Amino acid sequence: MNHVHYNRLGTNQDIAEIILDRPKARNAFTTDMAKEILELCQTIHHSEARVVLIRSSTEGAFCSGADLKERNGMSEEEWKEQHELFEAMFHQIQDMKQPVIAVVDGYALAGGFEIVLNCDFIIATKHAVFGLPEVTRGIMPGGGGTRLLSRRIPIHKAKEWILTGKKVPAREAEACGLINLLTTREKMKEESVAFAEKIALNAPLAVQYCKASIDELYSMNEKEAREVEIDFYNRCVNTKDRLEGVRAFVEKRQPQFIGE
């Protein structure tokens, strides 16, 4: 039985939607579910989709992390092999050429919060709760939590959240700058699709190069960053969409981008 589903949304079906669907376990991911997420993300990465949404099928639960019941009986070697799969899943989400939007309602904890942190944007309802409780279980976040949270919020707040293992309600998360858009359950789907469509309407290669440029430049020194930035700029200039964008502006019409 598949616990991950896939839809295409948007005016031109340009939005790929990944749906986590293991409601009885609050979408805790097993080995098989992680493989499904990884393989689906790889497929979408090579598709013509322009934006990706990741959400839950279940009200009140985005994802509670790895399934600890499955892990409980594993040998050390099996644990390590499974975690390598989880790492590949997290990295594939972060490395998608398309912008990825996490749509969160309810709990996003441990590895579930790390799925969110590996996305580019976070849309959350007022019922969302975030947390990295690993220290309370004698371990630490293993899917980017300590690396990525401090890029989203002030470092002293990241340390507080991680070292206490606290659960953070949506309002506090928003006040720290974690969330791009805070919404209601009733408007969540409508507003997340509208957010995605604003991106999908733009030239896809330009969007992808901008995302890649921002990610690469973030941790570079100024000299390296300037060289990489202009490389991405030159790639973007050498596209049919760039010429179409200029023509459309001059002709006062909506551009028709083709991703070339």
Q: Which residues are catalytic?
A: 66, 111, 114, 134
Tokens representing 180 are: 């791009």
Q: Which amino acid belongs to residue 80?
A: K
Is residue 106 within 8 A of residue 128, CB to CB? The reply is yes
Residues constituting the chain: 260
**Is the alpha carbon torsion for 245, 247, 248, 250 positive or negative?**
positive
**Calpha distance 199→51 (Å, rounded):** 7
C-beta neighbour count of 153 within 10 angstroms: 17
Which residues 6+ apart lie within 8 Å of 69 measured at CB?
A: none
